[in-house]
Amino acid sequence: MYSEKVLEHFMNPRNVGEIEDANGVAQVGNPKCGDIMKMYLKIENGIIVDAKFKTFGCGAAVATSSMATEMVKGKTIEEALQITNKAVAEALDGLPPNKLHCSVLAEEAIKAAIEDYLSKQKQQTQN
Ligand code: FES
């Protein structure tokens, strides 16, 4: 069974959409089910000031993306990199065991979007 929080974030997902001037963007896929999540981050002075996502996936994937974007906002890159799928699932009062893999997508999307940001920064300093 899903917790109330999971259902609530599924019905009213926060931060759905795109950020036009995002400076960290990544798309990750879940090999188990084929669902995909695209994450947009806006990072200023090492702080994530905005986060949005688009998820083509199950209810648990939508709820975890919603919670994950809420959790990273206002955090430093270092803090955001510490967020695990377990932490996201716990913030939602847990996920059914067979749905835990869905929360991995959220963790991976955040990490990949931050990596995208960092690699762009590197390119800029090299030029
Ligand atoms: Fe694919 Fe949940 S079943 S992310």
Q: Where exactly are the structural domains of the chain?
A: 4-120
Ligand 1 neighbour 62 (Cβ under 6 A): no
How is residue 126 written in tokens? 């090299």
- Report how far residue 96's alpha carbon sits from residue 109's, in angstroms, rounded to the nearest whole number: 21
Counting from 1 in the atom list of ligand 1, the atom nearest the Cα of 99 is 2
Ligand 1 neighbour 23 (Cβ under 6 A): no
∠ CA 121-110-17, rounded to 5°: 100
CATH of domain 4-120: 3.90.1010.10
Which residues are known catalytic residues? 33, 102
What is the predicted pLDDT for the residue at 36?
95
Q: Among candidates 12, 5, 1, which has minimal Cα distance to 92?
A: 5
How is residue 100 written in tokens? 């835990």
Q: Whose CA is nearest to atom 4 of ligand 1?
A: 102
Residues 6 or more apart from 98 whose CB is under 8 A from it? Answer: none
Ligand 1 neighbour 33 (Cβ under 6 A): yes
Are 72 and 48 in contact by the 8 Å Cβ rule? The answer is yes
pTM of the complete model = 0.94
How is residue 114 written in tokens? 């931050």
Are 52 and 17 in contact by the 8 Å Cβ rule? The answer is yes
pLDDT, averaged in runs of 10, over the chain (127 residues): 95 97 96 93 97 95 97 98 96 94 93 97 82
What is the predicted pLDDT for the residue at 126?
79
